[in-house]
Structure 1
Amino acid sequence: MKRLTSTAGVALCAIVLASGMAVAKSGHDRSPVTFESLDADQNGEISRAEMQASRASHLLRADTNGDGQLSLEELEAQGAERAKARAERMMSQLDTNEDGALSQEEMLGGQRATRRFDRVDRDGDGVISQSEFEAAQDRMAKRRPVDE
Structure 2
Amino acid sequence: MIRSLSLAALSGLLLATAATAQPAGDRPMGPRGQGAEMLERFDTNKDGKIDEAEFKAGRAETFKKFDTTGTGKVTLAQFQQGLEKMREERRQEMAKRRFERMDADKDGTITQAEFDAAAQRMFDRMDRDDDGTLSPGDRPHHRGHR
Range of TM-score over shorter length: 0.3 to 0.5
Task: Pick the structure with greater CA Rg.
Answer: 1
Indicate the structure with greater helix content: 1
TM-score for both structures, normalised by structure 2: 0.44
TM-score for both structures, normalised by structure 1: 0.44
